[in-house]
Amino acid sequence: MRKLQWILIAVLFIWVGFVFSAFYIVQKPLFLQVSAGLLSVVRTLAIVAGMILEAGALGDWALRKFIPNLDAGERILLGTGLGLGAFGLLGFGLAAAQAARLWVFLLLLLGLFLVIIVTGQMHFWWEDLKGLTRAMREPVGPGLKWIAWAAAFGGFFSFLLAFAPPVEAFDALLYHLSIPAAWLKDGGLAFSPIIPHYWFPALVEGTFVWGLALGSETVAPLLHLTWGILTASLIWWWARKAYNAPVAWRSMAILISMPSLLLLAAWAYADLALVFYSLASLYACWTARRSGKSRGWVLAGVFSGLAMGVKYTSFILPLVILGTLVLTRRQQFKELAGSGVRFALPAVLVASPWYIRNWIWTGNPFFPFLFGGRSWDAFLAAHYSQPGTGIGFDPFRLLLLPLDITLGQHDANYYDGRIGPLWLILLPVCLWMLWRMRNQPGKSAVYIPALFGLASLGVWTVGVINTSALWQSRLLFPALLPLAPLAALAWESFTRLDNRRLHFSFIFNVLAVFCIGLNLLDFGLFVLNRNPAAVALGMADRQAYIQRQQPSYGDALSLVSQTPPESRIYFLFEPRSYGMRRSVTPDAINSNLAHDLWLYHTPENILHEWQAQGYAYVLYQRAGDRLVENPAEAARLFSMMDVVAQTSNTILYKIPAY
């Protein structure tokens, strides 16, 4: 009987296995069809969660040890940003040491996780996180509860959009993703003279390389979104500490009224990292002034150094902070000198890797600006800066700058520069608030960001006077976002205009809700239209998505993939190189053809030089037709090559054998 029982059990197992297999093979449930994509999403989320957790725990430990007077929210927000900065420096360091390998990144992540668990640092980090969340759950006044839900709605759709292929994020394809991808492909740093972006400060790219090394490009936009969340949270925390919870939540509302902010947060860009480190440095400066603790200036210097590791445009930040030190401590020389050294020394040390790298490789710490450098000539400098293309010193145009910035009609990229109407509406009241608060105690919470904003706006204005290349409103985000509490104070002051017949504050509240609601609805529809989840899970074809959203880039990817794997391809009027599985030379500033004509004079010489450098193909984007300065010479050059394939946007030429 026992033997018969086992036989029956075995037959039953076979029968169950057969029925289940037959059913699901024939029915093909969607879950099984997208299992590979689902595993990829889970892997991405695990990498991002691991990096954020480890960055937060590492930063929390550092702040507990060296800056002991901070509270839980400050340790979580500042510490996580500090840890992500450490990841960026380490990622670049591995690339520079030619150690950017999958197993190295994996061992470091696992090893750091074990250290955090064994040392008990996870407990402290978790307790601080609970302290921050308790503060954010505190009751707020009537009429403000909707702001938290609106912020959650915007954050959710930014999170979804981060899973879309990065085809609309132009700068990501140009350098934010292509540079760390090149580090991995080349096994380290390589000299790229005609791609100036390669030599920009690369702290953010140093964090992105972790995700790319571990096989997920989506890690990059999710990390950028993390910097965005840290920025909004730190603004909320600062406004709450300096003023009250209603001002903090109104500050959050002003942020989510900005159409570009939610969009940029979901792209693999560097802007929100720069905003966060600038904000964190200003906040540390404010806390150092309030507490009188000298270590606060060290923390402000570290964050300034991290900001200078993100973009060259951050140079104004340490100058403003040192300027405020001089203005407020000019009669106390010893204290001024001590605080200045404590700030400047860590700022220089933390920022130095990028500038030392440039000095060694190109001969110019600020390559390609100011002093030129290796393989950078007068033609490229003029082509890049485009002097004389700005608005000029026109008083009327300068007066209209706030309106032009708000409308976004002159911005280099429509999606990048939309700040929404609330900032312009509140601008006059903000100026009045600054004047009214000039003699009040505790005014530094407003005046430190305001001085930085004014200086940044001045530098940006000088730029747009001279060149159209700098007309990008998102370059003002580091100066604008820290002023959200000031705008919130201006919003709150509308209650003083209320009387029995007219409640102006109520009218403005309704308009603000309408503005934010319309922005969130528009953004939600934007994300739903792109359906990024379908691509991430493999339910929609990635190449078809790229072709639909960016046809010219899709054509470039397709044509490049048709060439032999060992091919070298020279791009004309195609700056983007991310995702190209060949050795390509992108046209980073749309100067390749004009520069070659300037260097080699004739089409014959150009073709000979391309052959000598080992190029087998030329990829030409037809959008460059309007940029060609000498159409006759260009046509003669193209006539010397054979057309291999072409689309309505792109042509692939074969260079004759040398």
pLDDT in tens, 10-36: 888 888 888 877 877 777 777 767 778
Which token pair is 499? Answer: 């009387």
| Spatial contact of 177 and 208, defined as CB atoms under 8 Å apart | yes
- For the record, the structure tokens of 640 come out as 């010397």
Same domain, 401 and 488: yes
Q: Are residues 555 and 485 in the same domain?
A: no
Residues 405 and 469 in one domain: yes
Q: How confident is the model at residue 397 (pLDDT cuts 50, 70, 90)?
A: confident
Flag whether 207 is in a domain.
no
pLDDT at 194 over 70: no
Whether residue 84 contacts residue 51, with contact meaning beta carbons closer than 8 Å, is answered with yes
- Name the residue with higher pLDDT: 467 or 217: 217
Same domain, yes or no: 486 and 554: no
CA 658 and chain centroid, separation: 43
- Residues contacting residue 240 through CB under 8 Å, at least 6 positions apart: 135, 247, 248
The angle formed by the CA atoms of residues 416, 418 and 424, to the nearest 5 degrees, is: 145
At 620, give phi and psi (nearest 5°): -120, 125
3-class DSSP assignment, residue 584: strand
pLDDT at 61 exceeding the cut of 80: yes
For residue 617, being part of any structural domain is answered with: yes
| 222 Cβ contact partners less than 8 Å away, ≥ 6 residues apart | 44, 48, 159, 162
Which amino acid would we find at residue 386?
A: Q
Query: Are both 486 and 399 inside the same structural domain?
Result: yes
Contact, 73 vs 135, CB < 8 A?
yes
The phi and psi torsions of 94 (rounded to 5 degrees) equal -65, -40
Give the pLDDT confidence of 502-560 residue by residue, as tens digits: 888 898 999 999 999 999 999 999 999 999 999 999 888 899 999 999 999 999 999 99
User: Do 490 and 554 fall within a single domain?
Assistant: no
Whether 636 maps to a domain, the answer reads yes
Q: Estimate to the nearest angstrom the gap between the alpha carbon of 474 and the chain centroid.
A: 11
Domain assignment of residue 632, given as a range: 550-654
Q: How many CA atoms lie within 13 A of 600 on its CB side?
A: 19
The whole-number average pLDDT for the span 49-75 is 93
Of 461, 480, 497, which marks where a domain is finished? 497
Cβ atoms 624, 573 nearer than 8 A:
yes
Query: Taking 70 as the threshold, does the pLDDT of residue 193 lie above it?
Result: no
- Say whether 333 sits in a helix, a strand or coil: helix
Residue 463 lies in a domain: yes
Q: Say if strands 650-654 and 642-646 run parallel, antiparallel, or are unpaired.
A: antiparallel
Q: Domain ends where: 476, 497, 518?
A: 497
Higher pLDDT pick, 6 / 254: 254
Looking at the 3D structure of the chain, how many domains does it have?
A: 2
Report the distance separating Cα 434 and Cα 46, nearest Å.
45
What is the rounded CA–CA span in Å between residue 436 and residue 60? 38
DSSP letter assigned to residue 174: I
Tokens 């759709």 found at: 157
Q: Which of the four pLDDT bands, split at 50, 70 and 90, describes residue 151? A: very high
Residues 586 and 493 in one domain: no
Identify whether residues 650 and 554 lie together within a single domain. Answer: yes
Has residue 114 been placed in a domain? no
- Rounded to two decimals, the pTM is 0.94
* Four-point Cα dihedral 564, 36, 531, 30, nearest 10: 130
Q: Indicate whether 409 and 471 sit together in one domain.
A: yes
Q: How do residues 401-427 score in pLDDT, each as one tens digit? A: 888 888 877 777 777 778 999 999 999
- End-of-domain residue from the set 497, 518, 541: 497
Put the strands of the sheet holding 568-572 in their side by side order: 583-585, 568-572, 617-621, 650-654, 642-646
Other C-beta atoms within 10 Å of 481: how many?
A: 27
536 in a structural domain: no
564 and 473 assigned to the same domain: no
Classify residue 163: in a domain, yes or no. Answer: no
354 lies in some domain? no
Cβ atoms of 567 and 583 within 8 Å: the answer is: yes
* pLDDT value of position 213: 94
